[in-house]
A and B are shown apart, each in its own frame.
Chain A
Amino acid sequence: MPSMSLFLSQLFNGLATGLLLALISTGLTIIYGTLGVVNFAHGALFVVGSYAGFTAYSLTDSFLIAIAAGAAVALVVGLVVERGLMRMYYSRPDEDQILVTFGLGIILVELVRSIFGGISLSVPTPEWGQGVAHIGSLIYPLYRLQALAIAAGTLAVLYYVLYRTSLGLIVRAGIEDAQMVNALGINVKRTFLLVFGIGAMAAGYAGVIDSPIVTLSPDMGHRILVDSFVVVVIGGVGSFPGAIIGGIIAGEILSLTSMFNPAYSHVMLFVVMALVLIFRPQGLMGQEGRE
C-alpha cells in the first residue's frame, strides 16, 4: 500500500498535471466549442508554437519573448489557415473538417521536422523557474508550480474574453444562425477568423509554457492531440469549466493510478473517458445537443 505522503504527493501532482493538460487542450476547446470544428491540427499548432518559442529563446535568451513569439507565430498560422482554408469548410460535413485539419497537421509537423530535424530539442528552464520546491515530503520542480499558476491565470483570462465579452456572444450567436447575425450588421466572418486565430494562438502559447518541462520533438503533437481530446471529452465540449475539470480528472487518474500500477495509468484514463461517453456523452459539464 502506498504511504500517505506518496498519496498526497501524487494527489498534488495530479492537480498540477491536470491544469497543464487543461491549458494544453485550451486551443482545441476554443475552436471546437465555438466554431464547432474538430481541429485535428491542434497538436501541430502546439508544436509550431513550441519550436517558434525555442527559436526565440535561443536567439534572445528571454523566456517572455519566447512566449510572445510562440503565441504570435501560431496566431499568424491560425489566421492564414482560417482565411485560406477553414472558411471553405464551415458548412461542410464534420468528416471533411477532420480530414482537412488532419492533413494540415501533417504538413505543419513535417515543415517543423524539415527545419529543425527529428532530434529532440531542449528548452532550458527560465532562470526564475530553476530549482525545486519542498512541499512537505514532496520535492517538486519550481517551474511546474509556476506553470500551474500560469495555466490557471490564462484559463481565467480566456474564459473572460470568450464568455463574458460581446465577442463571445457574437461567436455563439454566429454558430447558431450566421445569416441572422450578419443581418444585424455584424461581420461574422471576421469574428470566426478571430476565434480560429485565438484558438491557434492558445495552442502555440501552451506549447511554449510546456516546453521547459519536456523535450521538443516534431511528433509530440500526436500525444498532445490525444490528451486534449480526452480532456475535452471528459469535461464536456464547449465548456471552459469542463475543460478545467476534465484536465484535473485526467491528471489525477494518471497520477494516482501510477502509484498502484504505472503500466495502467494511461489505460485508466481511457477507461474513464469511455465511461463518461457511455453515461454522459455530452461530457461532465457539456450541454446536451450542443455541437
Chain B
Amino acid sequence: MDDHKSGKVRGHGVDRRSMLKIGAGAAGGMLLPAVPGVALAAEEKKPIGNYPAGTQGDSVFIGLTLDITGPYSAQGADQQKGYELAIEQLNAGAPEIKKISPLTKKGVLGKTVKFGVADAETKPNTAVQAATRFMHDNKAMVISGSTSSAVAIALQKVCDRERTIYLPAISGSNETTGVDCQRYGFRLCYFAYPACKAIAPVLAKSLGKDRKAIYLVPDYTYGHTTYDSMVEFTEKQGWKTVGSQVHPLGAKDYSSFLINIANSGADTLVVIAYGADAANSIKQAKQFGLLEKMNIVVPYMSAFLEKEIGPEIMAGVYGATGFWWTLEDKYPIAKDFVSAFEKKYKAKPRDSAYIAYLTTALWADAVERAGSFYPPDVIKAYEAGEVRQGPVGDVTFRAGDHQGVINFPIVKGKKPSEMKNPDDYFEIVEVVQGKDALPDLGVLGCKLGPYI
C-alpha cells in the first residue's frame, strides 16, 4: 500500500488537496466540500437521521437488506457472506481490510460494527419496511444491500428522506446513479452502461460486426436500461437489433419467448435476465436448440450463473461481471479477499460477495476519513474522490453522481476440457478500467439533493 494513499489524516489539519478545493470554492463563490470535521464544527452538527443517537454507545449498527428469497436469493446469500467477512475484519482490525481502509484501527472510529439482516424478498416494499425497522428500532447508521435495482432505487429514496446513508450492493440499472440518484446513496458496483460500453467492442472483435441481436429483457428498470445501453453500444459496432422479448421477473416458462426468438432471424441472443431467470432461460434456450445456431451474450452476468447452467453451456459465452476469483493472480488484495473468504466459507467468492465486502470497507474508510459518523461529513468524505486500492485496483466514488469508479472483468466461459479445477469456469478477457467506461457526468440525468 502506498503511503501517500494511506497517510491522509482527517480532522487534524488541512491537506493540500482540500486547501485547493477551499481556494477554488472561494474563487468561484461556490460551496465545495471542505475538510469534514473541520468545516463543520461539533456544535453545528445538529441531529440528523440517526446521528447522534446511533453513535452514542460503543457500537454502530448496519442494517442489511438482502434478497434472501426470490429470484435473486443466491446473490443475496453471497452478499451476506461478503458483509460478514468485512465486518469481522473491521472489528478485528485485520491487516487485509486496512489495505483498503488504511485509517482503520479496530472497528470504525473505535466502535464495534454490529449488523442485522432482513430479507428484502427481491421486493421494493418489503425492503423499505425492513430498512425502516432498522432505522427506527436499531438506530442504523447505514443501510446496505440489494440485487434488484427496483429494490436499490426504492431504498435509496427512503434512506435519503430519512437522512441515512444507503449503499446498494448489486444494482445494474442506469437509473440508480442516474435519474434516481440521491445525496445519501453511493453505488459502488459496475452497472449497465459501463458493462455494455466495455463488452460491445470485445463482442464485435470476437463475434464480428455483422450480427443480428435479439434480447431477453426482464421487465423492470434494470432490464430496460441495460437493453438501451446494449443496443446503443452494439449498434455503434455495426450490430443490428432485431427485437426484444420482455418477460416478467421470476418467469418460469420461456417457451413462447424462445419460439419468437427462433423465428426472429437473429444470430445472437443477448440475455439481460439475471439470477435464476438467466439460468432458467438459458437452459430452456438450449432445449429449443437455439444454442446451436445462436451465440449467447450476457452483458451483466449474475453470480453463480456458470455453476447453475454448467460449463458445457457457458463455454464460449461472453459476459461482464463484477469480480472473478482468478483476478487473485494479478491483484494481491484480490488474493487476500479470496483467501479470507475461502477460509471462512470453504468456497470461492462471487461478485455479489465482493461488492458487499468492498462496499463495507469503503464505508469504513469514508467514516474514518470524515472522523465522524455525522452523515453529511461522511458523504463529503465519499465525495472527496479519494482513490483507494481495492481487490481490482483503484477504486473511488464520483462526487457528481455518487457512482463508484471501479474496475471489472469481461470474462469468457471455458470449455470443460480447459478448466484446471472445478471452479475454473472463466478466462479473463480484459479488465475494464472503470474510469474509462463510465458515462460523462450528467449523461444519465443525476441531480443530487441537499445534504441536510
Residue of A nearest to B67 (CB): A118
Measured in the bound complex, the distance between the Cα atoms of B246 and A263 in whole Å is 5
Q: Are B256 and A217 in contact (CB under 8 A)?
A: no
Q: Which of B248, B260, B283, B288 contacts A132 (CB 8 A)?
A: B288
Instruction: Give the contacts of A182-238 with B (CB-CB under 8 A).
Output: 213-215, 217-220, 222-224, 227
Binds B, one of A9-17, A91-99, A163-171, A283-291: A9-17
Question: What residue in chain A is nearest B254 (Cβ atoms)?
Answer: A214
CB of A214 within 8 A of CB of B283, answer yes
Say yes or no: B260 contacts A258, CB within 8 Å: yes
Does B259 count as interface, using CB distance less than 8 angstroms? yes
Are A266 and B279 in touch, CB under 8 angstroms?
A: no
Contact partner of B256 (CB less than 8 A), chosen from A213, A219, A265, is A265
Inter-chain contact B257/A217, CB cutoff 8 Å: no
Query: Which residue from A141, A215, A262 sits with its C-beta under 8 Å from B260?
Result: A262
Tell me whether A125 is interfacial, beta carbon within 8 Å.
yes
Query: For the complex, is A3 an interface residue (Cβ under 8 Å from B)?
Result: yes
Query: 8 Å CB contacts to A: which residues of B62-78?
Result: 68-71, 73-74, 76-77
Cβ of B330 < 8 Å from any Cβ of A? no
> Taking the complex as formed, is B253 at the interface, i.e. its CB lies under 8 A from any CB of chain A?
yes
Contact A119 B308 (CB under 8 A): yes
| B284 adjacent to chain A (CB < 8 Å) | yes
**Which chain A residues lie closer than 8 Å to B276 at the CB level?**
120, 215, 217, 219-220
CB distance from B296 to the nearest CB of A (A): 15
Question: For residue A282, which residues in chain B have a CB less than 8 angstroms away from its CB?
Answer: none
Report A1-58 residues with CB < 8 Å from chain B CB. Answer: 3, 5-6, 9-10, 13-14, 16-17, 20
Within 8 A of A (CB), among B159-188: none
Other contacts beyond A217-B73, A265-B256: 14, CB < 8 A: A9-B259, A9-B263, A117-B77, A119-B308, A139-B288, A140-B288, A214-B280, A217-B74, A220-B252, A222-B250, A223-B250, A255-B255, A259-B260, A262-B244
- Contact pattern, B 182-223, Cβ under 8 Å of A = 1, otherwise 0: 000000000000000000000000000000000000010000
Decide if A219 touches B71 in the complex (CB within 8 Å): yes
Given contacts A118-B76, A138-B259, A219-B70, contact A143 B308 (CB under 8 A): no
Closest chain-A Cβ to B261's Cβ sits at a distance in Å of 10
A122 lies within 8 A of B70 (CB): no
A120 near B246: Cβ-Cβ < 8 Å: no
Interface size on B, residues (CB 8 A): 38
Is A17 within 8 A of B256, CB to CB?
A: yes
Q: Is the CB of B74 within 8 A of A10?
A: no
A9 to B263, CA, bound (A): 10
A residues in contact with B245, CB < 8 Å = 258, 262
Contact status B256-A262, CB under 8 Å = yes
Docked-complex contact A254 and B289, CB < 8 angstroms:
no
Q: Which residues of B contact A6 (CB under 8 A)?
A: 259-260, 263
What are 28 pairs between A and B in contact, CB < 8 Å?
A3-B263, A6-B260, A6-B263, A9-B259, A9-B263, A13-B259, A118-B69, A118-B74, A118-B76, A119-B308, A120-B280, A120-B304, A125-B287, A138-B259, A139-B288, A141-B289, A213-B287, A214-B284, A215-B308, A217-B276, A219-B73, A219-B250, A222-B250, A255-B255, A258-B256, A262-B245, A263-B219, A266-B251
**Are A122 and B260 in touch, CB under 8 angstroms?**
no
Shortest Cβ distance from A140 into B: residue = B288
Q: Is the CB of B289 within 8 A of A132?
A: yes
Given known A140-B288, A141-B287, A262-B256, contact A119–B74 (CB-CB < 8 A): yes
B237-294 contacts to A (CB < 8 Å): 244-248, 250-253, 255-257, 259-260, 262-263, 276, 279-280, 283-284, 287-289
Considering only CB atoms, which chain B residue lies closest to A252 in the complex? B256
> Could you tell me which residues of chain B, from 278 to 330, have a CB within 8 Å of some CB in chain A?
279-280, 283-284, 287-289, 304, 307-310
A113: Cβ under 8 A from any B Cβ: yes
User: What residues of chain A lie closer than 8 Å to B251, measured between beta carbons?
Assistant: 223, 266
Measured CA separation A147–B320 after assembly (Å):
36
Contacts of B280 in A (CB 8 A): 120, 214-215
Type the 1/0 row for B150-166, where 1 means its CB is closer than 8 Å to any CB of A.
00000000000000000
